[in-house]
């Protein structure tokens, strides 16, 4: 089993990515709104801001945002899912996102019992 995680910076591609993952055999997928602090720092948003102001900014509507997708999948499905995402998103392009998987030794709930 693998935990597949994809932080999608190009949120306009979300529908295509989800469709592609489902077609690759991903059965369950969780999608969260997320914000990358490094992206905010690179854009200069956090420069010289006190911590409280930075926190207020995080809950505002002006912040850069991503979609974080994750799923626990069979090992074979992880490879297919990664290929599916990379066919849509150029991961090497700055701001496109980050994609990774990590081994999972135990899963409880959902459709898995390892």
Does residue 41 register a pLDDT over 70?
Answer: no
What's the pTM value of the predicted model, to 2 decimals?
Answer: 0.76
What's residue 44's pLDDT? 58
CATH code of domain 2-34+65-103: 3.30.70.120
- pLDDT classification of 61: cutoffs 50, 70, 90: very low
Does residue 77 register a pLDDT over 70?
Answer: yes
Burial class (CB in 10 A: 0-12, 13-18, 19+), 102: exposed
- pLDDT classification of 110: cutoffs 50, 70, 90: confident
- Domain locations along the chain: 2-34+65-103
């Amino acid at each position: 089993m693998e935990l597949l995680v994809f932080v999608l910076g190009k949120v306009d591609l979300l529908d295509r990515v989800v469709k592609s993952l489902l077609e690759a055999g991903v059965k369950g997928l969780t999608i969260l709104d997320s914000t990358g602090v490094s992206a905010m720092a690179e854009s200069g948003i956090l420069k010289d801001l006190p911590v409280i102001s930075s926190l207020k900014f995080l809950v505002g509507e002006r912040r850069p945002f991503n979609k974080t997708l994750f799923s626990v999948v069979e090992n074979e499905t992880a490879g297919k899912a990664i290929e599916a995402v990379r066919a849509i998103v150029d991961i090497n392009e700055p701001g496109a996102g980050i994609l990774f998987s990590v081994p999972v030794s135990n899963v409880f709930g959902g459709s898995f019992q390892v």
